[in-house]
Structure 1
């Protein structure tokens, strides 16, 4: 039986006597309910190392097994209604909008082929990373990553060392670059929906963003320049040699218009307010969100229909990376339900020590602790709900957070976005970029190998941000 079909059948079994998603009281949960979520993370981290062939063919089944390991016992202990409510809420309110947006961006960006005889020198690579950092805040980290990762890999396919190029790409384009607008990263978009003004993050965390992106670009340029000059760095044969027709340009230009449509749909869903909504097995679905998702599906289909086949062939476009992200995050979104509930319980929940740690003795919020707590949890949990947890922990009033507690909101925003780069699962584009790179023959670090890169390079920068801006 297909793993996703097993989950669907479990959902049908649990549907009778439905409760509401809000009925899950995290203060009453044991930390043992977090074991399936930890199992998903450890599977992603260890199985590709220990049994790569097995993981490549069965990661969907492994993820579904952990999801069922949470869902079925939860139904037995807390009732079918509560378990079904959590399942449907995770599916309808979080997972489907997430996957639909990612699919639209993946498809549209995959329909744009950047032509040109690009040579992966340190200067060109640094320029592409810098352009990607700017684009990430306006077309999303996913859109910018999917647009630029293929030409970047193609430009460097004549070099011996390419891993560091992709790792820094994840740091800069797939994460830090998306910190300036709600279009950049899901946590900021959720803040926008909660009432944070569109340009607030641009006004308040641009110094931190400029610092981390600037330092990373400088470090990358030094490292890449050293490798570029190394003996034997360039391979004797270039897999994509120069040919006269390869003048710089774009194929699949219709997708630029479709990319604009994606941005417009996302903005519309945040600005348009409507009282029209439907109850989907206990989860409210508003009209703006429904129109956005339907529009994104239409954009995806139009892109597939209008993009010339040659463009997809030139891009080596395939659905493998999107399928991997969709299957892995299905398990993550489901098994994360009790973990988020325990965090939402605040000081009364199993993770009360984490929540209490962000508050000073006088009761005021500690921006530095909010930065680290939201950031480190976002490295392993989905950063969107983690942002909401600490947004609500800090009071949840957007007006107060944008004014009197601006430092706290800035810390939550920066931590949730910046530290998504700490692990492959910290942000969805990380896994997508990794999958595309591996599909093109780039030897990417393991889960823990990547963390050696991220902790060694990023942690000193996060410490510097703490002492410069969050004291």
Structure 2
């Protein structure tokens, strides 16, 4: 019995400490699996598309094991189990469950009608999408609005620029005001950032960016519209009128919003211990509720309606497989960054810190933004959130300009490349499936470099000095 008790104590002690790893104990080599995972996402779809398409799940698992196996050897099975439990229960599963609920409910709403893709209508559709993005997520808003936008412009020759600006505005900038809008902000919410904090602190930046992008788009689209000489098509007797099918799914969407709000505002003080990680009652009820909402949407939506929307689980499966690899390989990187000057990435900490020891908002804006352009904005947000101290109460008050810079950089600059945010690739895939020739990876970056980067420079001088 004493031996069993001793073994139990030896196992439980590292479990309790697993969620709070000491970043000073890790060298820079522990970041190799994380770097390999993100480089695989960035390069392999372009260099080895067939291998990536068929084996991306296995590649993600391999990089996860490249971290877990050495970690188990050096830290023990107890600490490894604790780290796994914390990552899954506190971060990965809530993130995936919310994304799945938004993806499923949005996929059950079909906008029909004979829309004419004039510059004015395109602006209106993008403005609606931007407004919806912070309510139903950039993924949900993109999936809901991209199909009617494509149908509205199906009689035009030059359409690629419409989808590029749609990605800029709806798939990224529009989701910057609430945790529902974009994965980085939801992760911040899980860390303790108030639900309406970003709406209060980066609303001027968001409004200005969307307004200027819509103006630039209108000028470009008007040029091509006049040059093509597009005339409005008269509807025929069998042309379906404008309307929404599957509108019942707006009710599940409202429940999603209510569940997330509940988990952030209701604090009953009840928690369950799962291998050293506390699972609070409100978080458990939120996630169970979101799973129920997902099933509810599937039941109430006719299959034919989802077929009209060309609904597929493939994008959701890809996100789920890739993000488990990202979340696991990030564990030592986050710990090292949180160690600041005492960790292996002290140079990064010095680059975003002024001579007086205070964080530099402009540096946080650009470092978090540039990495979000290529390495996925959700983990990038977590990296710099922890680098800035990781204490939500301090970041929301004393260091509010820093948190605003991290939030804006992570969300806005996810639009700089196709791989910066999950909906970017989803929109590209849907457009190409409809026969639209989208810009190449670097062609898209030429657009973002010419349009977005100058705007971000201007924003730096106005808000993030």
TM-score by length of 1: 0.87
* Partner of residue 174, structure 1: 171
Partners of 2:252 and 2:429 in 1: how far apart?
Answer: 24
> Residues 126-155 of structure 1: CA distance to partner in whole angstroms, max 9, x if unpaired?
221111111112222222122112222232
* In the alignment, structure 1 residue 280 sits paired with structure 2 residue 277: no
SS in 2 for 1:336: helix
Partners of 2:86 and 2:115 in 1: how far apart?
Answer: 46
- The alignment of Structure 1 onto Structure 2 pairs a total of residues equal to 453
Query: Which among 339, 344, 356 is matched to residue 345 of structure 1?
Result: 339
Q: 1:73 to 1:163 in 2, by over 3 A?
A: farther
* Partner of residue 184, structure 1: 181
Q: CA deviation at 1:308?
A: 1.6
* Partner of residue 121, structure 1: 118
Comparing 452-461 with 316-325, which one deviates more in the overlay? 452-461
Q: 1:456 to 1:34 in 2, by over 3 A?
A: farther
* In the alignment, structure 1 residue 165 sits paired with structure 2 residue 157: no
Partners of 1:382 and 1:52 in 2: how far apart?
Answer: 19
Q: 1:101 to 1:15 in 2, by over 3 A?
A: farther
Q: 1:300 to 1:199 in 2, by over 3 A?
A: closer
* In the alignment, structure 1 residue 214 sits paired with structure 2 residue 211: yes
* Partner of residue 105, structure 1: 102
Q: 1:145 to 1:222 in 2, by over 3 A?
A: same
* In the alignment, structure 1 residue 257 sits paired with structure 2 residue 232: no
Where does structure 1 lack aligned partners over 5 or more consecutive residues?
1-13
Partners of 1:163 and 1:283 in 2: how far apart?
Answer: 47
> Residues 46-95 of structure 1: CA distance to partner in whole angstroms, max 9, x if unpaired?
22223323322222222222222222233223333333333332222222
* Partner of residue 424, structure 2: 430
Partners of 1:46 and 1:243 in 2: how far apart?
Answer: 49
Comparing 106-115 with 302-311, which one deviates more in the overlay? 302-311
* Partner of residue 292, structure 1: 286
Comparing 320-329 with 48-57, which one deviates more in the overlay? 48-57
Query: Which among 365, 369, 372 is matched to residue 371 of structure 1?
Result: 365
SS in 1 for 2:279: strand
Q: CA deviation at 1:183?
A: 3.0
Q: 1:108 to 1:32 in 2, by over 3 A?
A: same
Partners of 2:43 and 2:187 in 1: how far apart?
Answer: 32
Partners of 2:186 and 2:55 in 1: how far apart?
Answer: 33
Partners of 1:39 and 1:332 in 2: how far apart?
Answer: 10
| Equivalence map 1:310-329=2 (5 Å) | 310-329=304-323
Comparing 424-433 with 250-259, which one deviates more in the overlay? 424-433
Query: Which among 23, 26, 29 is matched to residue 29 of structure 1?
Result: 26
CA contact (8 A) 1:138 1:181 kept: yes
